[in-house]
Amino acid sequence: MIIGVVVSLLASVCFSASNLLEKRAVDAMSDISAVSTRAMLAKLIRSPMWMTGFVVGVVAAGLMVLGYEFAPIAVVQTIFGAGLVLIVAASHLYLHESMDRRELVGLAIIIAAVVLVSVTLTSAAAPGVGGSLRSVMGASGATLVVAFAGYGALSRAHVGDASLRFGATSGLLYGVAALQTKSVAVLLNRDGVLHGAGRAFTTAYPYVFVVASLLGLIVFQRGLQRSRISVLVPLTNVVASVYVVVVGMVVFDEPLPRNGVLAALRLIGFALALGGNWLLAVGPMTPRAFTSSGPSVHAPDGG
């Protein structure tokens, strides 16, 4: 399980670096819109900084496969969420986004959550290896419908902070992608790396992963340009983490530790990680939030 923790932490660092690079890149671009997907992607691909961030993000996804193979879902998601400590600190120092007391408390809570979950690593509870193609695809399809229905509803409601619309939608889409990642990890666990990797490409998992990730990327990049990274990323992470843990533990038949105390500590740790993420996500939006170099100030998104 220690291997799973280490690679999950590395994945978190790569994910944070990816988001920071992408945020810096889109801040320097003219307004991007998901309405013209081809033009948007062409603009992103032409940016060396954005492409660097994208490649680092692909590395993070690969590390997450290993994380899910060696550690339970709740452990992986909690350790992965700890990367927000880095991204919020970097957003303050590198992107000059403001921080307040609430955000500092959120960071402290996330650190405490990692400590609690780490205590449970001596448990014999193994990663879940259940999950059928039918159950994973059923959950994924239903989630895609909910994600875009919710996006449409929030757009029509004209919610003041665009972070909610972009964060909730991209979180669900990335959650669907994570289900496919876990499914591939199960195949690697069952059949070995070589045979499992070959078999994965005969299933729908990698292709649904690409579609869900691309859709999530489009929504998330739009959100990066319209929101503070220190708000958007925690909100996306909260939604994705809750989704993956709740749906994933059911779909993949993943048990909690048999020891009641360890099981409680793991659940409390995960809940604290979500709470810390939420405190970061509901931090106040201020004009000072967009002070990074480049044309990063935009009018409120009208949908």
pLDDT digits (tens, 9 = 90+) for 132-181: 899 999 999 999 999 999 888 878 876 556 778 888 899 999 999 999 99
In a domain, 297, yes or no: no
In a domain, 18, yes or no: yes
> Which residue range forms the structural domain that includes residue 172?
2-285
CA angle in degrees (0–180, nearest 5) for 77-82-87: 125
In a domain, 298, yes or no: no
pLDDT digits (tens, 9 = 90+) for 78-106: 788 776 677 777 777 776 766 677 777 87
Classify burial at 137, counting beta carbons within 10 Å of its beta carbon; exposed 0-12, middle 13-18, buried 19 or more. Answer: middle
- Provide the domain count of the chain: 1
In a domain, 125, yes or no: yes
In a domain, 33, yes or no: yes
In a domain, 290, yes or no: no
The one-digit pLDDT tens for each residue of the chain (303 residues) are: 778 888 988 998 898 889 888 888 888 887 766 556 778 888 889 999 999 999 999 999 899 998 998 888 878 887 887 766 777 777 777 767 666 777 778 778 877 887 777 777 665 566 777 888 999 999 999 999 999 998 888 788 765 567 788 888 999 999 999 999 999 999 988 888 888 888 899 999 999 999 999 999 889 888 888 877 777 887 888 888 888 888 888 899 887 777 888 888 888 888 887 787 777 766 554 433 433 333 333 333 333
In a domain, 31, yes or no: yes
Q: Cβ distance 235 to 171 under 8 Å? A: yes
Residues 6+ apart with CB under 8 A from 168: 147, 150, 151, 154, 235, 239
DSSP string, 237-293: HHHHHHHHHHHHHHHTTPPPPSSHHHHHHHHHHHHHHHHHHHHHHTSPP-GGG--SS
- The candidate with the shortest Cα–Cα distance to 97, out of 299, 288, 225, is 288
In a domain, 34, yes or no: yes
